[in-house]
Each structure stands twice: as C-alpha cells, then as structure tokens.
C-alpha cells in the first residue's frame, strides 16, 4: 500500500510570495515541501502499531500548524507488511524515487536491520519510531539513524535484574520467533543469569502464529516459577488470552517487555492481562504535564486514547520539528541536520528524553503492573538508561 497526503501549502505559498519581493534570498529547499516517508506496517500482525505511530507523528505536525520551519509537509505512507523484503523495496522507493527528507519507522527489528543500508547509503535520516534492534545503535550505527523509541536491551535487560531481586530463580522464556523476540530473550537471559537466575527453557512461536497451545503445554511442563516473554500487537492479544484460557494465569506469573500489555492490546485481552508485570519506557498513567496534554490532544483529534506507539510517533515528529527549527528548515546539509538532532532534549509524555552518543534515547525504564485494566508504575527499574555503545564508533 502506498498513499500520499499533502498539507500546509499555504505556508509554502507565503514563502514564494516573500521570494517575489526579495528575489533569490530563499534557498531552493525553503519553497519545497518537507517530505516524510513513513515506512510502517499498515497491515499484518503490527498494523495497529503502525497506524498509531503515523497518528502520533501527524499530531506533532498539526500542532505546528502543518508547517515546519516555514516548509509545508508531505507525508508519504509505505506499508512494510512486517516483511523485510517488501520493506527494502518500499524504503528504496521512498529514498530514490520520492527523495524523502526523512524516513520514519519501522516497527519490526528484522525490518529495521533490512532497511538500515537504504538509509545509510542513501544519506537519508531514519528516525526509528519503534524497532529496537540493538545493532542500529551498535555495530550498525550510522550518522543518519536516530531512535526515538528504545533499544531491545533497554526494555528487557532491566527485568532480569528486577525479577531476581523479587526472589524469582527459575524462568521459562517465550517470544515471537524473529530478531525482535530473540534479541529481547537474549538480553533478559544475560542479566537474569548474571544475577544468579536459571533459564528453564524457551519457546519461539512464529511471529504470525495464532495457536499457542503446543507452546503453552511446554510452559506448563517446564517447572518454571515464572515466564518472561516478548509479544506485541495481535500476537500479544492472542498469547495473553490463550495463557489464561490454558489455566496458566495466576499459576505461573507472566512477565515481559511492556509491549505485552500496552493500551492498544489490553481491551482485547480483558481480565487475562490483570497482574502482568512488564518493563517499559512509558505508561499511560504517568503523571506529568506533557503526558496529560498529549493524551488530551490525541483523544480530541482521533477520538481514541493513545498507546505507547502514538507517543513514539509523536516524539519522532517533535524531533524532526526541533531539528528543522535549528537548521532553519535546511535538510540538504546532512551533517548540520545530525548536529541538530544530537542537541535535542524532549520533554516527552514518557518523561525527559535525549539522544545518547550512539543515537538511542536516554530514558527511564519503569516496572508496570496491570491493575484494574490500567498499567500502574510500581517501580523504576533504571533511571536515565543509556544503551551500551559497544562497536559503535560515532
Ligand atoms: C521489534 O521488532 O523490535 C518490536 C516490535 C514490536 C514491538 C516492540 C519491538 O512492540
């Protein structure tokens, strides 16, 4: 799927009008729309996540009156279908044919790894609005790649230490079988084992699996005290529902990365999500003025409550807006654009967020528990957490 929406041509017109009074003062880019290429899943298991990221981004642009540093904005949407091959073609089209100024997305770690070179070799800034693939801020880091979401390590390693501290010693692992899931489990296992814990085993259902019974049977027979897992989007809905239907809810406590119980999936999970504990960089219940204002604005504009993914889309939009204000709208000088992004610190709905040397967000990681259908912050697992810079020479 491929769609274009155009907005804010009024401002582009006023720049052109000013140009007729003082000829040749404005550089060519000032009169051209800022082109944003959204490389996101608009179908398949992560479709809802992609839609919310796009909505969050569009809210940030709307708050600027639809123009950024005097330039009108053109948003081009490209569906990845959560498929690395499809995504490479789409990203190439956005960079080479559409000549977008920024790519924004993707959701899946496997897709992020696949399109990394399209952005890097095409010298096009990629604002990673979800995918946590650790390589992007380590060996595959790039002057053109910045992440407004999280690294997989940030949302999984802190839980290993935290669960051990709660007295849990033997854990079974479960995750969707692709780069996102396997990386989350690796980071959790390392920190849990380092603390002294033991891994009982792991199950890795296919990303698009809908029948979890054989995997739940293995969990039941594992003798583990608890489960740590990574599932998101439709996979999170199904896994949590079937965990409960299988009689495991309440018997083997379920822990995970926070995507398991974000507010986009909880209504469909219902009672089955109660008591689940996760680590994440956002909770809808965070009490800060930015979160209150953001949640109200999103509700007013779309008639629904935002989840974490909308926050990440919103902050991607905010980062682009702030960077362009610094460069006076110039997106041609790529080094200047990177320097502008380097200097950004956002008062995000999640709390304070800035970019580390390897372009990952520096942010707090919360421990959440679903209580009466809401994610409540029960602890802070890590303050101002920075992803290790191993192998990144930026
Ligand atoms: C990932 O693949 O990195 C990923 C996907 C969906 C999420 C979180 C992480 O909700």
What pTM was estimated for this model as a whole? 0.94
pLDDT value for 160: 98
Q: Relative to the CA of 259, which ligand 1 atom is closest?
A: 10
Q: Are residues 145 and 16 in the same domain?
A: yes
Q: Are residues 9 and 34 in the same domain?
A: yes
Question: Within a domain: residue 172?
Answer: yes
pLDDT value for 24: 53
Q: Are residues 9 and 146 in the same domain?
A: yes
Q: Whose CA is nearest to atom 5 of ligand 1?
A: 108
Distance 23 CA to ligand 1 centre (A): 49
Q: Which of 110, 134, 150, 152 to mutate to test the pocket of ligand 1 (most atoms within 8 A of CB)?
A: 152
Give the pLDDT mean for 1-7.
45
Confidence of residue 210 (pLDDT cuts 50, 70, 90): confident
Ligand 1, CB within 6 Å, residue ranges: 46, 49, 107-109, 130-133, 152, 180, 232, 259
Question: Within a domain: residue 81?
Answer: yes
Confidence of residue 29 (pLDDT cuts 50, 70, 90): confident
Q: Are residues 181 and 63 in the same domain?
A: no
Distance 109 CA to ligand 1 centre (A): 6
Does residue 106 have a cis bond before it (omega within 30 degrees)?
yes
Q: For 225-270, what is each residue's pLDDT tens digit?
A: 999 999 999 999 999 999 999 999 999 999 999 999 999 999 999 9
Question: In angstroms, rounded to a whole number, what is the distance separating the alpha carbons of residues 184 and 318?
Answer: 27
Provide the domain limits for residue 227: 153-280
Distance 180 CA to ligand 1 centre (A): 6
11-28 as b/e, with b when 16 or more CB fall inside 10 Å? bbeebeeeeeeeeeeeee
Residue 7 belongs to a domain with what CATH number?
Answer: 3.40.50.2300
Structure tokens at 311: 């926050």
Q: Relative to the CA of 107, which ligand 1 atom is closest?
A: 5
The 3-state secondary structure of 297-335 reads HHHHHHCCCCCHHHHHHHHHHHHHHHHHHHCCCCCCCHH
Distance 126 CA to ligand 1 centre (A): 17
User: How many structural domains does the chain have?
Assistant: 2
Q: Relative to the CA of 46, which ligand 1 atom is closest?
A: 6
Query: Which residue among 227, 247, 280 closes a domain?
Result: 280
């Amino acid at each position: 799927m491929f769609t274009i929406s155009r907005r804010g041509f009024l401002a582009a017109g006023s720049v052109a009008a000013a140009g007729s009074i003082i000829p040749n003062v404005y550089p060519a880019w000032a009169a051209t729309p800022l082109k944003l290429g959204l490389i996101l899943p608009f179908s398949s298991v992560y479709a809802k996540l992609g839609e919310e990221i796009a909505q969050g981004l569009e809210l940030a642009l709307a708050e600027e009156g639809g123009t950024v540093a005097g330039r009108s904005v053109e948003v081009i949407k490209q569906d990845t279908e959560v498929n690395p091959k499809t995504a490479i073609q789409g990203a190439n089209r956005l960079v080479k044919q559409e000549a977008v100024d920024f790519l924004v997305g993707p959701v899946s770690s496997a897709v992020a790894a696949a399109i990394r070179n399209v952005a890097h070799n095409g010298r096009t800034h990629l604002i990673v609005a979800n995918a946590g693939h650790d390589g992007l801020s380590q060996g595959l880091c790039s002057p053109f790649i910045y992440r407004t979401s999280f690294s997989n390590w940030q949302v999984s390693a802190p839980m290993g230490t935290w669960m051990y501290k709660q007295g849990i010693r033997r854990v079974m692992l479960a995750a969707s079988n692709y780069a996102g899931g396997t990386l989350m489990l690796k980071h959790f296992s390392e920190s849990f084992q380092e603390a002294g814990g033991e891994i009982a085993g792991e199950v890795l259902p296919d990303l698009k699996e809908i029948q979890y019974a054989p995997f739940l049977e293995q969990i039941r027979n594992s003798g583990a005290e608890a489960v740590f897992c990574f599932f998101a989007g439709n996979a999170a809905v199904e896994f949590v529902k079937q965990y409960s239907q299988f009689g495991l809810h309440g018997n083997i406590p379920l822990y995970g990365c926070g995507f398991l119980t974000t507010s986009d999936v909880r209504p469909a999970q219902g009672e089955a999500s109660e008591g689940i504990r996760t680590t994440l960089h956002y909770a809808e219940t965070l009490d800060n003025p930015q979160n209150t204002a953001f949640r109200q604005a999103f509700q007013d504009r779309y008639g629904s409550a935002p989840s974490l993914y909308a926050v990440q889309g919103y902050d991607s939009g905010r980062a682009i807006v702030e960077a362009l204000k610094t460069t006076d709208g110039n997106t041609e000088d790529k080094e200047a654009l990177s320097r502008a992004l380097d200097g950004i610190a956002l008062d995000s709905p999640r709390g304070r967020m800035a970019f580390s040397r390897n372009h990952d967000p520096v942010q707090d990681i919360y421990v959440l528990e679903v209580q009466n259908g809401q994610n409540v912050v029960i602890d802070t697992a890590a303050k101002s957490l920075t992803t290790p810079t191993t192998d990144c020479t930026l």
